[in-house]
Amino acid sequence: MYGGGNNKIKENYIKKKEEMIRSGVSVLTEKGFSTAGINEILKIVGVPKGSFSYYFENKESFGREILIKYDEYFSRKLDFFWGDKELAVKERIRAFVANASYAMTRYDFKRGCLVGNLGQELNTLPKSLVKITCEIFVHWQMKMEILLEEARENGEITRNYDVKYLSRVFWSGWEGAVLRTRLERSVEPLEEFGKFFIEVVFD
């Protein structure tokens, strides 16, 4: 037992845990929570079945960490596209839609939105995951609210819309469009919804 060795063990432990969460994001984005199968994730990252509890208390707490990771990832994406002050707000939304179309095509329409997937599994999902899923939607909504406020300030929106309401409608519609895009294996629903939203909200 010497410090260097313990540090190495700790480092490996943290690295492995992160790998499991990352791999969990991929698997859950494709398959949702119930059918995901922790075993599949363990196999991918090379952790023996019996060692799962060494990293996470149970499937539910693993799910929580995966959701938090996904929110971090997706929020960075939103900040990247929506924080670009060089572009008109309308163009920033367009860029986000185009990127989503590209990403869904790239994954052969197999990956949807993790929080959208979980929402559909509601009746079998642990309550703490439902709660986090709702909170993540609120988080993304706030980002849209800020964006639409900016559009109002810079004159891109002159009508007297309630931006909170618009932001909620945006995310509802977006999740539905992701679903249709996967079903049809075509980016048309995503692009249509983006176009519709921009057309009706902006002057």
Give residues in contact with a copy of itself (CB under 8 A): 30-32, 34-35, 109-110, 112, 116-117, 119-124, 130, 133-134, 137, 165-166, 168-169, 171-180, 182-184, 188-189, 192-193, 196, 200
- Minimum CB distance to a copy of itself, residue 104 (Å): 12
Nearer to a copy of itself, 98 or 166 (CB): 166
* Residue in 188, 145, 34, 198 with CA at minimum distance from that of residue 179: 188
- Minimum CB distance to a copy of itself, residue 69 (Å): 19
Nearer to a copy of itself, 68 or 130 (CB): 130
Which strand (E) or helix (H) includes residue 17? Answer: helix 3-31
Q: Quote the radius of gyration of the chain (alpha carbons, Å).
A: 20
Nearer to a copy of itself, 96 or 171 (CB): 171
Nearer to a copy of itself, 119 or 126 (CB): 119
Nearer to a copy of itself, 53 or 123 (CB): 123
How many residues belong to the chain? 203
Per the structure block, which two tokens stand in for 126? 């642990």
- Minimum CB distance to a copy of itself, residue 120 (Å): 4
Are 203 and 157 contacting, i.e. CB atoms less than 8 angstroms apart? yes
- Provide DSSP, 90-141: HHHHHHHHHHHHHHHHHTTT----HHHHHHHTGGGS-HHHHHHHHHHHHHHH
Any residues with CB less than 8 A from the CB of 48 and at least 6 apart, and which? 42
- Minimum CB distance to a copy of itself, residue 15 (Å): 28
- Minimum CB distance to a copy of itself, residue 177 (Å): 4
Nearer to a copy of itself, 65 or 161 (CB): 161
Distance CA 96, CA 114 (A): 17
- Minimum CB distance to a copy of itself, residue 176 (Å): 3
